[in-house]
Amino acid sequence: MEATLSRSIGVSKGSNSALPQKVLVPELFEEARHLLGSEPTQAALKELLSILEENFLHKFASDVDRDHLFQCAHLVVARAGIMGFEALGSACSDLQHACATGAQFHSEFARARTAAFVTHDAIACLLKPKTT
């Protein structure tokens, strides 16, 4: 699954030094799908996709306030972790920390935004109907 996903979204291990090596940990994703079931997994993917679109894909660091960004990053860390989206979870964890400590968060937001774009593509691949 990881090789197919990597080819589909054009990302391979180590292809972007700003992101951790794995966009998706297939074992974690399969475990979540097994525990949740197919339909709830699809719903969770769609919900995460929506969160990414609303809060990262069409925004820049100057467009959001620190408190909103903290809450959004916190939500994404939990959801990404459950579903196995390692790069997104890691980037949003760093963003959450920067927001919580009052540090500048522009570079963390940029990294989270990049991870959101890559994860968005991965989710789109996972949501595609399987052809036989």
Q: Convert the pLDDT of each residue in 15-51 to its tens digit.
A: 334 444 589 999 999 999 999 999 999 999 999 999 9
Computed over every residue of the chain, the mean pLDDT equals: 86
Tokens 């990262």, located at residue? 56
Token pair of 116, please?
């959101």
Distance, in Å, from the CA atom of 91 to the CA atom of 86, rounded to the nearest integer, reads 9
The conformation of residue 22, written as its DSSP 8-state character, comes to: -
pLDDT at residue 44, rounded to an integer: 96
Q: Is the pLDDT score of 120 beyond 50?
A: yes
Helices (H), the chain: 2-9, 26-36, 38-52, 66-83, 86-101, 106-127
Q: Which pLDDT tens digit goes with each residue over 46-105? A: 999 999 999 999 888 788 889 999 999 999 999 999 999 999 999 999 999 999 999 999
Closest CA relative to residue 25, chosen from 114, 126, 96, 108 = 126
- 28: Cβ contacts below 8 Å, ≥ 6 apart: 82, 83, 84, 86
pLDDT at residue 49, rounded to an integer: 96
Angle between helices 106-127 and 38-52 (to 10 degrees): 140
**Confidence category of residue 5, pLDDT binned at 50, 70, 90:** low
The conformation of residue 120, written as its DSSP 8-state character, comes to: H
pLDDT at residue 129, rounded to an integer: 84
